[in-house]
Structure 1
Amino acid sequence: MLTVIGLLSTTFGVSVASALLPLISIELFAIGLVLKGPEIPWWLLAVVIATGQIGGKLLHYYAARGAIRLPKFFRRKSENERRGRWRQWLERFRSNCQQRPVWTGAVLLVSATASLPPFAAVAVVAGWAKVPLSTFLITGFVGRFVRFGALAIAPGAIIAWL
């Protein structure tokens, strides 16, 4: 049987992996851990998962910023691919992020909490839009903490309610 430290370390690893690979569900892992694992404080579980998620999303953020060089497979091949409606939308979004930092923080916070729009996509766009790292880290961590704190509390709350 794994110790609490071992479970938290595994949880951290799974949360980083799920931040990088959308096929891995940290939500299902966390619910399973809460239902079958030893008594881990909800806030500690939320901190570990939020830290791992933000750590993984930072790779997306830095890659979009150009700080991490991606393999050729992920890079654009020509200047023509950078034009069009999508590019115009991204340029407007970048401008909005720079002109309205409170709006930017709110979008990041809502996305990190509710995953609408998906936080993986918002992390990439935030990096591309050059959202300040502190804004990304703080709003992302707080949103993820709230999301996974609620998830960790939910099974116990439902059982107590029934």
Structure 2
Amino acid sequence: MIGLLSTTFGVSVASALLPLISVELFAIGLVLKEPEIPWWVLALVIATGQIGGKLLHYYAARGAIRLPRFLRREKSGKSSPGRWRAWLESFRENCRNRPVWAGSVLLISAVASLPPFAAVAVIAGWAKVPVSTFLITGFIGRFARFGVLAAAPAAMATWL
């Protein structure tokens, strides 16, 4: 079981870094193949890996991790910000002035992935949301998301 959980951790970190990898599909397959793994253990391992991976996105957006040149955006000479930049600035101000709102957005995104948690992790880093807020709300949301996912097959089998 330790080997499966360490593989699960690795897949969850990889899926946090590369959105093409689906930890949800992996988790469902694992629960169906190995139903003796407690749902909460699986949710704990996946949530920890997901937050670990998203933390890299968060710190990169915050500027604490220097990205390779090919991943960095060159500063343009534009004098007027576009709509996207204005929206991001508005989001940053909302995060500063309304920390409960920022935590709520993070929590909802971590649970439902709407808006996508990968994007919210980057924007939260850029908006300088406190790392404690990011970690706590992100972990709770991811634990809830994957807890429901891991418990669903057993719940459906019991219910049917």
| TM-score class normalised by the smaller sequence | over 0.9
Q: What does residue range 27-106 of structure 1 map to in structure 2 within 5 Å? A: 27-37=24-34, 39-80=36-77, 83-106=81-104
Unaligned runs of 5+ in 2: none
Residue 158 of structure 2 aligns to which amino acid in structure 1? A
Could you tell me how far apart the structure 2 residues matched to 1:79 and 1:139 are? 34
Residue 23 of structure 2 aligns to which amino acid in structure 1? I
User: Offset at 1:78?
Assistant: 2.3
Q: What is the TM-score of this pair, normalised by structure 1?
A: 0.95
Out of 23, 28, 31, the residue aligned to residue 26 of structure 1 is 23
User: Offset at 1:77?
Assistant: 1.5
User: Offset at 1:81?
Assistant: 5.9
- 1:87 aligns to what SS in structure 2? helix
User: Offset at 1:76?
Assistant: 1.7
Could you tell me how far apart the structure 2 residues matched to 1:74 and 1:5 are? 36
Could you tell me how far apart the structure 2 residues matched to 1:113 and 1:46 are? 12
Could you tell me how far apart the structure 1 residues matched to 2:96 and 2:123 are? 13
Out of 106, 117, 120, the residue aligned to residue 119 of structure 1 is 117
State the partner residue of 1:9: 6
Residue 57 of structure 2 aligns to which amino acid in structure 1? H
Could you tell me how far apart the structure 1 residues matched to 2:149 and 2:139 are? 15
Cα deviation, 1:7-33, whole Å, max 9, x if unaligned, reads 000000000000000110000000000
State the partner residue of 2:134: 136
User: Offset at 1:38?
Assistant: 5.0
Could you tell me how far apart the structure 1 residues matched to 2:45 and 2:127 are? 28
Residue 161 of structure 1 aligns to which amino acid in structure 2? W
- 2:100 aligns to what SS in structure 1? helix
Could you tell me how far apart the structure 1 residues matched to 2:120 and 2:13 are? 17
Unaligned runs of 5+ in 1: none
Cα deviation, 1:57-100, whole Å, max 9, x if unaligned, reads 00100000000111111212123369311111111100000000
Cα deviation, 1:34-53, whole Å, max 9, x if unaligned, reads 00025111111100000000
Could you tell me how far apart the structure 2 residues matched to 1:48 and 1:98 are? 31
Paired residues in the alignment total 159
